[in-house]
Amino acid sequence: MVEKLAIHGGKPVRESYLPYSRQFIDNEDIEAVSNVLKSDFLTTGPLISKFEKEIADNVGAKYAVAFSNGTAALHAACYAAGIKDGDEVITTSMTFAASANCVRYLGGIPVFADIDPNTYNISPEAIKPLITQNTKAIIPVDFTGQPAELDQIMSLAKEHGLLVIEDAAHALGATYKGRKIGSISDMTMFSFHPVKHITTGEGGIITTNIKDYYEKLIQFRSHGITRETTKLNEYHGSWYYEMQFLGFNYRMTDIQASLGISQLKKLEPFIQKRKQYVQMYNKAFENKNEVKIPILPNGIDSSWHLYIIRLDLENLGTSRREIFDALQKENIGVNVHYLPVYLHPYYQKLGYKKGLCPNAEKLYEEIISLPLFPTMSKTDVNDVIEGVNKVLSYYSN
């Protein structure tokens, strides 16, 4: 007889709750931040440019511009790309809202392309019929840390004169056909939120190989202000600066940058831990009829921000919510990523309708994100596996 679940009075797999993700801060990180607190600079100082250079060098880009958060970075990238009222930008709905919101901030219109049902990334074939004379850019998202089909997307963009702003919030350290993410698209955004690969508390960055974008990004993050004498309309003295357009205060602080510099030293071991735990999950679930594990195409190396299983609900005879709630009762901190963006009330009020991206909507109903972060132990991973097996066994019998 199958052991009863915790929600039915049984003992949970874990005594303590395991979150789906968590930051890792060590004494080196604390010391790095402490040193800044004792220094002359707390906000934008010398560590910003140091952090930017280290990120640019790490991903193989010429330039990097740091921002207060990833959403601010995307907003700046859309500004640098010249997105304005009525411009259309094609993106995926299987992402966090910021991937589309950044277009709306400038009066642009997000156009949602459906996903590939196997990779869960935006489908290049779905992008093609959506391109119009009003399309100005494509924002592919490297969902879960797996790079999108960038060769096809970049080819489409070149054919139609479009820019590519890659949302790689999940994909620091990933590679696409031997090339590091951050060096391929016109602009690429990375996020440093605490659940990402490295953290600055809150923070984001844009990498690019195009100097014009770099200069616009620098000015946009600081109110549209410049002090560069070659750009000034007038010159009143060494103290003088000009606000030349309406920018924002999106500056990162030296406190954040110091943490980022320290965290970046640990990026590779962080990713290797994630990959080790992914292999454990894959081995445990690859032959289970009730779930589908992630598919990684040839030439794609994910940095594994998320590990998602897709449930065969017909086989299980229940809903995703039932499975989710049961796992939570086992103290397994599962999550769901994401509700398709256009199904949020804000976008529904703008006129977007359910049924727009059938593959994304079906995926949303069937997925659960399992805990995955570098400070998990093998015991934690085995607890998750045991919890998933216990719940699946209960519902499939």
Burial 294-316 (b: 16+ CB within 10 A, else e): beeeeebbbbbbbbbbbbebeeb
pLDDT per position as a tens digit, 271-301: 999 999 999 999 999 999 999 999 999 999 9
Verify that 195 and 286 share a domain, yes or no: no
Where in the sequence is the domain holding 328, given as residue range(s)?
6-23+267-395
State residue 364 phi and psi, 5-degree precision. Answer: -55, -40
Verify that 82 and 228 share a domain, yes or no: yes
Verify that 95 and 227 share a domain, yes or no: yes
Cα–Cα nearest to 73, from 181, 221, 201: 221
What is the DSSP secondary-structure string of 170-184? Answer: T-TT-EETTEETTSS
CATH at 198: 3.40.640.10
Give CA–CA dist 40/135, Å, rounded. 46
Sheet containing strand 163-167, strands side by side? 63-67, 204-208, 187-191, 163-167, 135-139, 88-92, 109-113
Give CA–CA dist 156/138, Å, rounded. 9
How far CA 278 is from CA of 108, 232, 370, in Å, comes to: 38, 53, 10
Domain count, the chain: 2
Give CA–CA dist 278/371, Å, rounded. 10
% pLDDT > 90, the chain: 95
Show which of 223, 245, 264 is a domain's final residue.
264
Q: Which whole number is the average pLDDT over 42-56?
A: 95
Assess if residue 370 is contained within a domain. yes
Task: Provide the CB-side half-sphere exposure for 232 (13 A, CA).
Answer: 13
Assess if residue 1 is contained within a domain. no
Show which of 210, 242, 264 is a domain's final residue.
264
pLDDT per position as a tens digit, 129-169: 999 999 999 999 999 999 999 999 999 999 999 999 999 99
Active site residue 196: yes
Verify that 198 and 283 share a domain, yes or no: no
State residue 18 phi and psi, 5-degree precision. Answer: -105, 115
Q: What is the pLDDT of residue 1?
A: 35
Verify that 252 and 284 share a domain, yes or no: no
Q: What is the pLDDT of residue 9?
A: 66
Residue 162 · residue 135 · CB < 8 Å = yes
- Which one is catalytic: 180, 196, 216, 273? 196
Q: What is the pLDDT of residue 2?
A: 44
Give CA–CA dist 215/391, Å, rounded. 53
Assess if residue 376 is contained within a domain. yes
Verify that 102 and 15 share a domain, yes or no: no
Strands 187-191, 163-167: pairing kind: parallel
What is the DSSP secondary-structure string of 124-156? Answer: HHHHGGG--TTEEEEE-B-GGGPPP-HHHHHHH
Is the predicted pLDDT of residue 127 greater than 50, yes or no? yes
Q: What is the pLDDT of residue 8?
A: 60
Residue 360 · residue 115 · CB < 8 Å = yes
Q: What is the pTM of this model?
A: 0.96
Give CA–CA dist 87/108, Å, rounded. 5
